[in-house]
Structure 1
Amino acid sequence: MTKESTSVIIEYHVENLDKEKLIQLYKNVLKPRLIEEKMLILLRQGKISKWFSGIGQEAIAVGVTMALNADEYILPMHRNLGVFTTREIPLYRLFAQWQGKASGFTKGRDRSFHFGTQEYKIVGMISHLGPQLGVADGIALASKLKNKNNVTAVFTGEGGTSEGDFHEALNVASVWQLPVLFCVENNGYGLSTPTNEQYNCANIADRGLGYGMESHIIEGNNIIEVYKKVSELAQSIRENPRPILLEFKTFRMRGHEEASGVKYVPQALMDTWAVKDPVLNYETFLKDHGFLNDDESTAIREGIVTEINKHLDVAFKEEIIIPDEVKELDDVYKMFDYNSVLGSGESDNIRFIDAISNGLRQSMERHNDLIIMGQDIAEYGGVFKITDGFVAQFGKERVRNTPICESAIVETAMGLSIAGMKSVVEMQFADFVTSGFNPVVNYLAKSHYRWAQQADVVIRMPCGGGVAAGPFHSQTNEAWFTKTPGLKVIYPAFPYDAKGLLATAINDPNPVLFFEHKGLYRSIRQEVPNDYYTLPLGKASVLSKGNDVTIISYGAAVHWALETLERNPEISADVIDLRSLQPLDAETLYKSVRKTGKAIILQEDSLFGGIASDISALIMEHCFEALDAPVKRVASMETPIPFASQLETQYLPKDKFEAALKMLLEY
């Protein structure tokens, strides 16, 4: 670290801070600087692969972290090394993380600061930046529901404030009065794009007004101002829970990452901020005012350097990770010990929709930490009335109407899981999950694999056609998610299955997409136990047995297949209702196909890229010698689903299945 500056440019106000606290601030702000300088050397030597520098911004991460209690969560970015060092994570673990070693936090599966640790109450970023803001909402919501009086601090850059997640998260936090500190590090550039091309207001803090939110601008290079102001605000939030938007004015002195450089930054601007170095100015101030002398600062620096080298040695000596397919596959999902609960006592003949509602209600009774969130689900009861009466029984704290912001609500659900709570999110229609697609496939799906953090979230997905609702309310989009490792996808066809599988999905600590066909809600009835019961995920249901052909389906299409067989009693068929698409009960399929020699798969989704294609490939790979005909797939047309009933009828495969089945039998 150079020491060219001999004058103090930054104005410090030390009131109420003793020497011990001032020195602790110095040690904490110096440590990440010295680590970074060492990392830049190692980067040039090829000993680490990439580095995102926070040089010039250390005072923000350190000041915010020191202002929070050890049990309060922080969600940092990739320039917030000071968060990790101030929380006193052993350096060898950080170094191992950056080298892809096993003693890091992600077992070599992710790099940089893309990890979290419950031990230190830190939740790291993902590259998409925005989702962590909504995750902070969820953690803060859990704190509020549990009356813990904790603050949650979440970081983003000024570039990240252009993402929709930022606006959704602030709006949710304001509406629900969540105890979140939204910390925006305004360092002048989003990679190479300057702020005047990022937003058109004087200050990011001005946006707080639009959300009815208190906001402040803080000199981000002034470690004392950061620490004192954030300490004051954090204590205020603990006493009066609410969100606050903080804009920290600072500057990034190095490239977005080292390879990008800073040639796009005017030299005059670099010079202006160079003299505002948060470490050098503070060190000079302490010396000028007798809080620190040269010998003391040298001893502190040497102590940190010794610690860095010692821990680097440990990390470098650690063996590289030996790839193990079993371990990799085992860590995609959190282990779930299924507990079978049998329905006992009386049963009633109820509709599919009633089974969903009853199952959800009984899970709410069973899990006191279960929260339901969705649009219009409280007093209104949801557009399908599945949660009608829930507010009267469970209260609005647990049955929560949300703004129209699917992304932030999925992220909030993830935050609840991090804080140890369960949640069910209702997509008003499965089609609308596109507005929350990123956190589903990149946050929920990958968290356990990345850093062993479960995503204890169920997303209910009312889906499907046959109701003349058109392209934006009738899709059956399960294939978007069966493709994504880390998600479980359930799609029942009968009331009994729907209730039992929903109970298990809620018990399961992994993220589950629970598809409910709207066309079945009020058209299908069945005897269903009144009591709570569970059914295992990943187990198909064999509805009928025969020798001519294996019919494989799920959802509403199961009923189309059964109707076809009713019209053709001469056809002897195994009918398999998948129920669970991920995990898939492949063995039940193989056993049947090896018996019948023929297989036909019926899905409502359009053909190309649907799950029928994968099932067909699996059967061809595992049962080829037993097949007497090619595997047949029957699906909807390769168009969006239309509105007009006659066009929708043409689109759906219901009326095409019988001919396809008979053709296969004649092969």
Structure 2
Amino acid sequence: MYFNRSDLNDTQLLSFYRTLVYPRLIEEKMLLLLRQGKISKWFSGIGQEAIAVGATLALEPDEWIMPLHRNLGVFTTRHMPLDKLLLQWQGSEHGYSQGRERSFHFGSRAHHICGMISHLGPQLSIADGIALAHKLRKEEKVALAFTGEGGTSEGEFHEALNVAAVWDLPVIFLIENNGYGLSTPVSEQYRCNNLTERAAGYGMKGIQIDGNNLLEVFLAIREARSYAITEQKPVLIEAMTFRMRGHEEASGVKYVPPELFEIWGKKDPVVQFENYLQEIKLLTENDIKSIREDLKRQIEADVAKGLTDTPFEADTHKELNDLYAPAPAPVAPAGGSTEKRFINALSDGLKQAMEQHPELILMGQDIAGYGGAFKITEGFMEQFGADRVRNTPLCESAIVGTALGLSLAGFKSMVEMQFGDFVTCGFNQIVNNLAKIHYRWGQPADVVIRMPSGGGVGAGPFHSQSNEAWFTHVPGLKVVYPATPEDAKGLLTAALADPNPVMYFEHKALYRSISSPVPDAYYTVEIGKARLVQAGDDISIITYGSGVHWAMEYAAQHPEISIGILDLRTLLPLDYTAIQEIVAATGKVLVLHEDTLIGGFGAEISAWIAEHCFSLLDAPVLRCASLDTPVPFAPVLEKNFLAKSRLDKYVQQLMHW
């Protein structure tokens, strides 16, 4: 193996050696602890340490890295204390994720390391967001994301590369090609000769390197960093390597031909670098022995310290309290009001939030010059500039990941789904990355996803869904669904001020069909608080979105029935106090929503009332929802589909109970 020391001096080379051998010795100790039952799982990086160590050495300490399972060298090179790492691996409350994550699924802002999720690909898009933040601030920095050769088959890989290329982002995508995705060999993973060929398809630079050569890795990453900063372009690097143990220890290595271990054993990155340093007279056998013994003593001391932790008890209050980052207090409206349509109130709120938060970035398909599919951002690019109002490729998942990366770098972001139905393409990033990240390691996801939703406009099965229930089931998200122009503005500004991920549903049929007075100045409406639309004595209707207007229209048409109406406004977190109060007011409750019946959010409300308000009821809680079919296109079918067509039936059923 040829080593090019370039401009590295002797002191640096010796330091590199200690940095390389340290994670190897830690791994050897961890394998012993695994067999002793002191840790429960281990993903070994033995044989490919040079990639993690070399890449981390080539970056500045405040440049973000998105590592994966086998990148212990990233954590140790960033000087994360081994005793605390050991606490993390044991699931201790004193680890980096307070016992909420295992192995390497955690991050640390202090060390500029973003914790991975098991889906692998989403790490790449987060790097896009961090790189975008550097570009916007004109900082000479890059972001680096690891992936494996298996991860390059995921859609997120292609989306992330495309976004980075289209937006000219200073990001390095580093593929650790160790030949196997768990047990699947590369011959069953892709057909190109090498993965750098994919770089050309995205118009970016691609480099293949020897991943077992520490200096080659270091120099390649250093050069890629310089190129990415100078040219403001991404780089794809494929590092060829091999893992000398299983995907994780329990999986074994029976699927690997034995001769591969012999071939790659001769290319061991630690041994090869030791040999090189001996050849150039920087190390002797005694030096190597002395360094290893010194590191082993240090490791033993840290392990002893890390194993002294005592068992802890779960604190339910703390678990629930750590789900969200603290949100700012509401801002009360002041001054006069103007009659506005729902859509204009949204645009007004978004514009004032852009003025209130200079770090707020808007992203979505066609939202810049075109103004979005519904023209909500029309004129925004001219007022705030193309940097802050960004057209995106058709890459919903990567854009949500980019939004999370922006949050890591201190920005806020709004992602507009052109139609709420299209959110399925970004589902993984939302439910596994945005929703969980604060609970996992205290990192807020300061992202709002706007969701133009609902039927009644003849848009058919793929542009009309009410899919809020998909997200109310996911802890860590906030789900908002306004019904009035005043709330549309105030809840949107509140969502954009909130450091937590908010799914913001806006009903398309309300955009231009309703209007009401809306305060002119900036204000926010508290997320998590319902609104009593009107009091009633006979029955109570609990609803949100379009259902509020159906209920109000029905109540106006039937003055003989005293109907109380509660507009939930926020579905997660839910205002249980307001629900209990309106249940107590009448004892007869109808839960109304546009979503389909089975699994709709009304089922959760109904179940909660039955469990907590049973003594207040004079009749069963009824649910009025849309048919359990896709949303049909023909007007006669859509009208029959919508819950509104059955509202009278359920009201009369309650009245005659």
1:206 aligns with 2:213: no
Q: Determine the structure 1 residue equivalent to 2:560.
A: 570
Q: How does 1:168-567 map to 2 (within 5 A)?
A: 168-338=159-329, 340-567=330-557
Deviation per CA, 1:27-58: give whole Å up to 9, x if none.
Answer: 11101100001111111111111111101100
Deviation at 1:239, TM superposition (A): 2.4
Q: How does 1:154-169 map to 2 (within 5 A)?
A: 154-169=145-160
Deviation at 1:288, TM superposition (A): 2.2
Q: Structure 1 residue aligned with 2:79, among 88, 103, 107?
A: 88
Separation in 2, partners of 1:625, 1:230: 67
Deviation at 1:401, TM superposition (A): 0.2
Q: Determine the structure 2 residue equivalent to 1:150.
A: 141
| 2:231 partner letter | N
Deviation at 1:232, TM superposition (A): 1.9
Deviation at 1:298, TM superposition (A): 1.6
**Could you tell me the percent identity over the aligned residues?**
57
- SS of the residue corresponding to residue 610 of structure 2 reads helix
- SS of the residue corresponding to residue 119 of structure 1 reads helix
Counterpart contact for 2:536–2:585, Cα < 8 Å: no
Separation in 2, partners of 1:105, 1:84: 12
Q: Structure 2 residue aligned with 1:619, among 609, 621, 634?
A: 609
Deviation per CA, 1:542-575: give whole Å up to 9, x if none.
Answer: 1111111111110011111111111100111211
| 1:417 partner letter | S
Q: Determine the structure 2 residue equivalent to 1:31.
A: 22
Q: How does 1:124-139 map to 2 (within 5 A)?
A: 124-139=115-130
Q: Structure 2 residue aligned with 1:579, among 569, 584, 602?
A: 569
Shifted more, 368-377 versus 19-28: the winner is 19-28
Separation in 2, partners of 1:259, 1:659: 59
Deviation per CA, 1:593-649: give whole Å up to 9, x if none.
Answer: 112111101000001111111101111111111111000100001111111111111
Taking structure 2 as the reference length, what is the TM-score of the superposition? 0.99
Counterpart contact for 1:108–1:321, Cα < 8 Å: no
Deviation per CA, 1:71-100: give whole Å up to 9, x if none.
Answer: 111111110100000111111111110001
Counterpart contact for 1:149–1:241, Cα < 8 Å: no
Deviation at 1:103, TM superposition (A): 2.0
Deviation per CA, 1:231-272: give whole Å up to 9, x if none.
Answer: 122123222221000000111111001111111111122211
Deviation per CA, 1:430-482: give whole Å up to 9, x if none.
Answer: 00000000010000000000000000000000000001111100001000000
Gap regions ≥5 residues in structure 2: none
Shifted more, 289-298 versus 273-282: the winner is 289-298
Separation in 2, partners of 1:232, 1:629: 72
Counterpart contact for 2:328–2:497, Cα < 8 Å: no
Counterpart contact for 1:549–1:600, Cα < 8 Å: yes
Shifted more, 284-293 versus 413-422: the winner is 284-293
Separation in 1, partners of 2:219, 2:533: 67
- SS of the residue corresponding to residue 413 of structure 1 reads helix
Deviation at 1:537, TM superposition (A): 0.7
- SS of the residue corresponding to residue 102 of structure 1 reads coil
Separation in 1, partners of 2:294, 2:321: 41
Counterpart contact for 1:350–1:525, Cα < 8 Å: yes
Deviation per CA, 1:318-347: give whole Å up to 9, x if none.
Answer: 112311101110111112232x32222232
| 1:230 partner letter | I
1:600 aligns with 2:582: no
Q: Structure 2 residue aligned with 1:654, among 638, 644, 647?
A: 644
Counterpart contact for 2:169–2:228, Cα < 8 Å: no
- SS of the residue corresponding to residue 656 of structure 1 reads helix
Separation in 2, partners of 1:224, 1:155: 18
How many residues are treated as equivalent by the alignment? 657
- SS of the residue corresponding to residue 127 of structure 1 reads coil
Q: Determine the structure 1 residue equivalent to 2:623.
A: 633
| 1:136 partner letter | A
- SS of the residue corresponding to residue 435 of structure 1 reads helix
- SS of the residue corresponding to residue 307 of structure 2 reads helix
Shifted more, 16-25 versus 244-253: the winner is 16-25
| 1:609 partner letter | G
Separation in 2, partners of 1:269, 1:296: 31
Cα RMSD for the two superposed structures: 0.8
- SS of the residue corresponding to residue 196 of structure 2 reads helix
1:122 aligns with 2:120: no
- SS of the residue corresponding to residue 110 of structure 2 reads coil
